[in-house]
């Protein structure tokens, strides 16, 4: 990985302020970042540190207060619905709660067909579409024959989250924003989901932005880590640099707060 | 050995579905809780951890049904008591339970002190409001919780604070046993640490005598509890002290769980995270042999033939597998070499 990868998404002095006048509170406070193509980036912080607000701004779900977002080197323009739709072909998201991510009235086939249509394969023959769905589901270790004609609520949480990844596999966006995708599923299925995300990145060179509060998980999965405290990035670097040699006091505290196996867990330092 | 508080012997409970099929979610579980020692239950979703917690409380409501076994609490046997008697005489005073997502259970239109009044008045109807307030203030001070939280509404508190307040409310009558079902899984690491600190303080101050802690986060369990039991498909598959189970797991399933641990320590990135393939069996019709056989790497013909009992060895260690210890250890060392 010696060649410099092209920049995919970056931000300059990006801020989001909620409230007005003296109640104004900056949830994201002038952050600068640069994510390269094919990189797996983690954004780590406590609850309320502004991770999700940042994610929503990057997705265009929330208007920024000030600052600039650059997408593939160009200033991001999502001022009209058509432009926003075009941008969403390049960026997609997986959210925290798999149970509320699906339309309860749509069968799994419909969920996947929507993705195929969105990709511009609307005129494909039915067997062609079925083949695509089968391939996508096989990628996440699910079987099309078992899922066809079922509704999302018939699946377990882990299976639903895998179905979300199958959707991403069909859409093949340039950027995937994963907002705590594993916090609601157990440790065992978590390993499966993480391995699938890594496989997805390796096969499609997708940029994955992984938002989490679990620093151990961020260390395992990511190439580079951004640590967020109160709307600001306090530290960033490669995973090894940040986790094994943390410089910011906040990062050190986050690492100390995680229960570990080989070091005693110091409960006396509770703030 | 310290005093035995809760003694569970061969407890079996099942769910009955609308189609009339039985789902044995807790199958022949035996465990002992000693004063001053905590026990952790590990396992993936759907393996019966939460059902075990519900069954221990003796609070059987359809679709959960009691089948057999005993739960001895002092000289009482909980399954033999009437449900109403259990509610009045055991829950809250002897056994307290914190369900998953407990912090969302608070009624948003009532203040925290109202919940405490509810708990105390349900057991001691004649207590005056002044006494309750005094007890609550004293308890909150000892647990380092802000006293003004008592007069607040749930929405005014943060997630971590709500969780700690819920724990304080459910243990206000100083129960002997606290059953905590994933008390920290919805919280971030700092709030999680505060919750764990509070639980440990409560044990030390004697507000609770023993604790059963349920979670799927093994590094957490290792740091919180003295002993660990691993559950799979309604059965206990391995038990021992926390250190033994985490660093020297014997059952292939326990071993698989240990391979899914992620901690920010050197070596995590290089480790190959290996998830156990497949899903737990359907408990409507559990396999007659070892329940883990379909997912086990080391499966042999004898595994699927007959059910295996727990093999006990050493001091309180046990595992449920056909293979001998030496053979299992041999497999694991071969993999790493």
CB atoms A158 and B46 under 8 Å: no
**What torsion do the CA atoms of A182, A187, A192, A196 make, to the nearest 10 degrees?**
30
B76-77: strand order across its sheet: B22-34, B4-16, B64-73, B76-77
**CA–CA separation, A161 and A176 (whole Å):** 14
CA distance A198 to B54: 38
pLDDT at B323 over 90: no
Question: Tens digits of per-residue pLDDT, A72-112?
Answer: 888 998 889 999 988 998 999 998 888 888 888 999 999 89
Confidence category of residue A156, pLDDT binned at 50, 70, 90: confident
Q: Which residues pair with B64 in a beta bridge?
A: B15
Percent with pLDDT over 90 in chain A? 42
What the block records as the tokens of A133 is 């769905």
d(C-alpha B50, C-alpha B34), whole Å: 21
Average predicted confidence (pLDDT) for chain B: 88
Q: Is the ipTM of this complex over 0.90?
A: no
* Chain A residues whose beta carbon lies within 8 Å of the beta carbon of residue B257: 187-188
**What is the mean predicted confidence (pLDDT) over B56-75?**
88
Q: Where are the domains of chain B?
A: 250-336
Query: What's the rounded Cα separation, in Å, for the pair B297 and B259?
Result: 14
User: Which residue of A50, A160, A180, A191 to mutate against B (max B Cβ within 10 Å)?
Assistant: A191
Model pTM? 0.85
State whether A260 and B159 contact (CB < 8 Å). no
Three-state DSSP class for residue B76: strand
**CA separation for the pair B24, A1 (Å, rounded):** 52
Chain A partners within 8 Å of B216 (Cβ): 186-188
d(CA A120, CA A107) in angstroms, rounded, equals 21
Q: Which of A92-101, A181-190, B129-138 has the lowest mean pLDDT?
A: A181-190
* Smallest Cα distance from A251 to chain B, Å: 11
Q: Which of residues 52-111 of A touch B (CB under 8 A)?
A: none
Class of domain A7-102+175-269: alpha beta
Is A240 in CB contact (< 8 Å) with chain B?
A: yes
* A229 neighbors A250 (Cβ within 8 angstroms): yes
Judge if the upstream peptide bond of residue B63 is cis by omega within 30 degrees of 0.
yes
Residues A127, A85 contacting (CB under 8 angstroms): no
pLDDT of res. A141: 84
Q: Which chain B residues are Cβ-neighbours of A156 within 8 angstroms?
A: 45-46, 279
Chain A interface includes B324 (CB < 8 A): no
Nearest to B287 by CA among B238, B324, B234, B239: B234
- Asked if the model's pLDDT at residue A1 lies above 50, the reply is no
> What are the angstrom distances between the C-alpha of B25 and each of A49, A193, B29, B46?
40, 26, 10, 9
Q: Does the beta-carbon distance from A47 to B261 stay under 8 Å?
A: no
Q: What would the pLDDT profile of B245-303 be if each residue is shown by its tens digit?
A: 999 899 999 988 888 888 888 777 777 666 777 778 888 888 888 899 888 888 888 88
What is the rounded CA–CA span in Å between residue A190 and residue B55?
28
- Please, what's the b/e burial string for A86-120 (b: 16 or more CB within 10 A of its CB; e: otherwise)? ebbebbbbbbbebeebbeeeebbbebbbebbebee
């Amino acid at each position: 990985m010696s060649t410099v990868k092209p920049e995919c998404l970056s931000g300059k002095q990006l801020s989001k302020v909620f409230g007005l006048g003296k109640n104004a509170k900056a949830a994201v406070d002038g952050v600068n970042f640069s994510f390269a193509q094919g990189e797996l980036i983690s954004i780590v912080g406590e609850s309320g540190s502004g991770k999700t607000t940042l994610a929503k701004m990057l997705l265009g779900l929330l208007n920024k207060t000030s600052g600039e977002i650059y997408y593939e080197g160009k200033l991001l323009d999502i001022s009209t619905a058509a432009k926003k739709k075009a941008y969403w072909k390049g960026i997609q998201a997986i959210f925290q709660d798999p149970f509320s991510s699906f339309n309860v009235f749509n069968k799994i086939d419909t969920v996947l067909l929507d993705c195929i249509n969105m990709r511009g394969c609307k005129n494909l023959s039915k067997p062609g579409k079925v083949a695509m769905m089968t391939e996508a589901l096989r990628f996440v270790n699910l079987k099309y024959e078992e899922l066809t004609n079922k509704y999302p609520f018939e699946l377990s949480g882990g299976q639903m989250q895998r179905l979300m990844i199958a959707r991403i596999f069909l859409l093949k966006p340039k950027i995937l924003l994963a907002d705590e995708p594993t916090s609601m599923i157990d440790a065992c299925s978590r390993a499966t989901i993480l391995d699938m995300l890594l496989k997805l990145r390796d096969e499609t060179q997708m940029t994955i932005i992984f938002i989490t509060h679990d620093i151990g998980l961020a260390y395992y999965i990511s190439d580079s880590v951004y640590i967020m405290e109160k709307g600001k990035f306090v530290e960033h670097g490669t995973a090894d640099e940040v986790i094994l040699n943390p410089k910011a006091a906040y990062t050190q505290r986050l690492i100390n707060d995680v229960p570990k196996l080989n070091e005693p867990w110091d409960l006396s330092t509770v703030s | 050995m310290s005093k035995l508080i809760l003694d569970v012997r061969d407890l079996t409970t099942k769910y009955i579905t609308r189609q009339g099929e039985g789902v044995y979610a807790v199958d022949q579980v035996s465990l002992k809780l000693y004063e001053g020692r905590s026990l952790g239950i590990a396992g993936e979703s759907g393996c019966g951890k939460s059902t075990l917690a519900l069954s221990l409380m003796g609070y059987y409501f359809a679709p959960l049904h009691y089948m057999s076994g005993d739960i001895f609490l002092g000289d009482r046997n909980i399954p033999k008591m009437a449900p109403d008697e259990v509610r009045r005489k055991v829950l809250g005073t002897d056994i307290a339970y914190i369900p998953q997502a407990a912090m969302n259970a608070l009624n948003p239109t009532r203040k925290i002190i109202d919940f405490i009044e509810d708990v105390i008045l349900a057991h001691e109807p004649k207590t005056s409001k002044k006494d309750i307030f005094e007890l609550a203030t004293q308890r909150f001070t000892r647990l380092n919780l802000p006293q003004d939280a008592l007069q607040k509404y749930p929405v005014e508190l943060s997630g971590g604070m709500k969780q700690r307040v819920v724990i304080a409310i459910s243990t206000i009558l100083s129960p002997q046993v606290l059953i905590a079902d994933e008390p920290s899984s919805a919280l971030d690491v700092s709030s999680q640490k505060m919750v764990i600190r509070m639980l440990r303080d409560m044990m030390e101050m004697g507000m609770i005598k023993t604790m059963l802690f349920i979670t799927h986060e093994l590094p957490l369990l290792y740091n919180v509890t003295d002993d660990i039991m691993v559950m799979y498909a309604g059965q206990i598959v391995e038990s021992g002290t926390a250190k033994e189970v985490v660093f020297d797991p014997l059952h292939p399933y326990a071993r698989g769980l240990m391979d899914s641990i992620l901690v920010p320590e050197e070596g995590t990135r290089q480790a190959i995270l290996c998830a156990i393939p497949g899903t737990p069996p359907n408990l409507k019709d559990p396999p007659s042999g070892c329940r883990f056989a379909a997912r086990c790497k080391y499966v042999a013909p004898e595994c699927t033939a007959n059910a295996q009992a727990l093999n006990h060895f050493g001091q309180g260690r046990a595992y449920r597998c056909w293979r001998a210890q030496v053979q299992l250890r041999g497999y694991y060392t071969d993999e790493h070499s």
